[in-house]
Structure 1
Amino acid sequence: MTRETPSGVAVLLTAATRSMVLTSETERRLDALGNVRWADGSPDAWDLPELLDGVVACLTGWGTPRLGDDILTKCPDLALVAHSAGSIRNLLPQEAVGTRVTVCQAAALIADSVAEFVIAQILAWLRELHLLDAGLREGAGWSDLRHRHPGRLLGAQTVGVVGASRTGRAVIRLLKAFGSAVLVSDPLLDADEASTLGVTQADLDTLLARSDIVTLHVPLLPSTRNLLGARELGGLRDGALLVNSARGGLIDPAALQAELRTGRIRAALDVFPAEPLEVDSEWREMPHTIRSPHSAGHTLDSHRRQGAAMVSEIERFLRKEPLHYAVAAGQVDNLA
């Protein structure tokens, strides 16, 4: 008996993720593809081999169970994984990406959201909005508050961007619009690209020493874990602002806490060594810090763009058209 040509699509999204990344319009587009299986209920109860049997493409996102070697072996027809979130590091075996299965990810759509958040963090510190707000709540004098917190212009600052990743480049574009001088440390950035971006290349130590603001945009890899330790943090200028919206593991936590307690530097932290923070975590009360709960990449608009983009990738794949967000096998080691 001849086996039918596989053509199905599986939507492996939790109810929460589905409500974030899919609109009624994108759901209609999926249904229009025909032979679509929608995972339902708790992911713990999903029978992945059954959901993916005969399926050529699947849509995944936050909360999707790992598609391990056993799943890929049992589902040989699966040719495309369209991931509506960012990192694919824990989604499936990295050696399978671009070889056993084509993988697309929405990380590029998240970059704008993170970049805007980073600029918001920087501006909040430069204008000391949290201190102005607290002062008014406490009844401080109008003129006294303006005298104590006069603020600084972003365009007058030198900003060091560690990592010319997609997000790093999105941040650079916004910084250039403000007129900031931008230093970049990234061994993969060549001189021509730096010139196109309008930035100055620098090694990490030089960047830390010359920057008023430092923002991190590198993936967490064995080579970048604790990239900033006590020595590197000690090389920051007095009064420098350190922004981390990438991964908490990029900075030695004990060294950062020690610096922050002295008040010599300030920090805007969206990520932490362990997440979510425990109720009694020291990070919740860390002085000279603005903190947020890993929120940089999350906006209603970016979520919907991510879902729509990955549905478009599935449509292109089924029409045998070039994909826009496919991850090449050689890129995997450098991805977050």
Structure 2
Amino acid sequence: MHAMPSVERPTVAILLPPESRRLVLSEAAEQRLNNVARVHTIAETSLSMSVLRELVGGSSIWLTGWGTPPLADLLTDAPNVKLVGHFAGSIRRLIPEYALSGGLRVTHAAGAISDSVAEFVLAQILMALRHGDAFNTGMKAGQGWELRDRYPGRLLGALTVGIVGAGYVGRAVIRLLRAFHATVLLADPTISEEAARELGVERVPLSELIERCDVVSLHAPLLDATKGMLGTAELSRLRDGALLVNMARSPLVNEQALVAELKRGRIRAILDVFDEEPLPASSPLRQLPNVYLSPHAAGHTQDSHWRQGDLIVDEVERFVRGEPLQFEISAAAMRHMA
């Protein structure tokens, strides 16, 4: 009886500085990787091209994420790489589209981030509608029950909410909105009427969504077609008292036009992303009472970070076993992604 030949384990290069690697990979996830592959990591906090070239030598699987620089030049000199697993969501800045057309397989963890962003979107909307920050500040300053008259709230279920973009996050927000029985409109030219009905939403043009909705939440990718999709004209058509939420990409909205509209006091905004990050101390957004700011934090929870790590390790295991990947990105799909 002959022994079965052993299958050589692939080499996985983790193209992350130590801090980012610890953020997404639990000890259990790292052990799972070591069980199916030889794993190369680095101790350097700065990923220069020379460091990366040494790191990826002999590897066929690269794992990337926050802190990984663009990889176009590295890919040119790495014919053996077969799979890139991205611990974060957006892959466009790292991998050129032609690499996918040339046979490189890419998967990402956007599906694990979406729940974190969606929860934050709903939390911020509810806090704004019920003026929770004003109640808290007022009570601590010695004010009392008169705050209820000064800040009358709105019921989410009585409002019309517009979702712009039905990607991972947009769909996750729609799922959460169902529990509140709000009327939900969707603007997304890439999905069909049938797909919209399956989501339980009404698909409408962006111009109609802007005019009909009490809350407008942006979840579109940043593409040439979406950059500046909300400018002076669009913002002026928002309903009086409307709430604009942007936790996607700042350039979807003309920031100067938004500041001008907010200064009029007619609408409110919830912003997690900005043209310049970190947000400068001199930004006029910091001085406006009708805008709620957060430091690009919507997708960041420890739970979602570990889910991201687990998801990509799952994908590596599937790849090694020759099974289909669950979150693979095609070249065609990449053209419409964040």
Q: Which TM-score tier does this pair reach, normalised by the shorter chain?
A: over 0.9
User: Unaligned 5+ residue runs, structure 2?
Assistant: 1-6
Matched, 1:47 2:51: yes
Secondary structure (helix, strand or coil) at the match of 1:175 reads helix
TM-score, structure 1 as length reference: 0.95
Query: 1:139-154 counterparts in 2 under 5 A?
Result: 139-140=142-143, 142-154=144-156
Query: 1:13-52 counterparts in 2 under 5 A?
Result: 13-45=16-48, 47-52=51-56
Separation in 2, partners of 1:38, 1:265: 48
Secondary structure (helix, strand or coil) at the match of 2:261 reads helix
Q: Which moved more, 1:117-126 or 1:43-52?
A: 43-52
1:12–1:60: 8 Å Cα contact kept in structure 2? yes
Separation in 2, partners of 1:99, 1:274: 34
The Cα of 1:149 is off from its aligned counterpart by 2.0
1:167–1:217: 8 Å Cα contact kept in structure 2? yes
Query: 1:43-82 counterparts in 2 under 5 A?
Result: 43-45=46-48, 47-68=51-72, 70-82=73-85
Secondary structure (helix, strand or coil) at the match of 2:47 reads helix
Separation in 2, partners of 1:303, 1:295: 12
Secondary structure (helix, strand or coil) at the match of 1:30 reads helix
What's the C-alpha RMSD, in Å, of the aligned pairs?
1.5
User: Unaligned 5+ residue runs, structure 1?
Assistant: none
TM-score, structure 2 as length reference: 0.94
Secondary structure (helix, strand or coil) at the match of 1:47 reads helix
2:47–2:68: 8 Å Cα contact kept in structure 1? no
Matched, 1:208 2:237: no
Letter in 2 for 1:188: T
Aligned residues: 331
Separation in 1, partners of 2:109, 2:337: 12
Percent identity between the aligned chains?
A: 49
Structure 2 residue aligned with 1:293, among 295, 298, 306? 295
The Cα of 1:295 is off from its aligned counterpart by 0.6
The Cα of 1:98 is off from its aligned counterpart by 4.9
Letter in 2 for 1:64: T
1:53–1:77: 8 Å Cα contact kept in structure 2? no
1:105–1:326: 8 Å Cα contact kept in structure 2? yes
Deviations 1:38-66 (A, max 9, x none): 12212334522222122111211100122
Separation in 1, partners of 2:100, 2:109: 15
Distance 1:59 1:149, change over 3 A: same
The Cα of 1:5 is off from its aligned counterpart by 7.5
Distance 1:186 1:51, change over 3 A: same
The Cα of 1:6 is off from its aligned counterpart by 8.1
Match of 2:263 in 1: 261
Letter in 2 for 1:87: S
Query: 1:118-129 counterparts in 2 under 5 A?
Result: 118-129=121-132
Secondary structure (helix, strand or coil) at the match of 2:106 reads strand
Secondary structure (helix, strand or coil) at the match of 1:58 reads strand
Distance 1:100 1:71, change over 3 A: farther
Separation in 2, partners of 1:203, 1:250: 16
The Cα of 1:282 is off from its aligned counterpart by 1.8
Deviations 1:126-146 (A, max 9, x none): 110111111112211x22012
1:123–1:154: 8 Å Cα contact kept in structure 2? yes
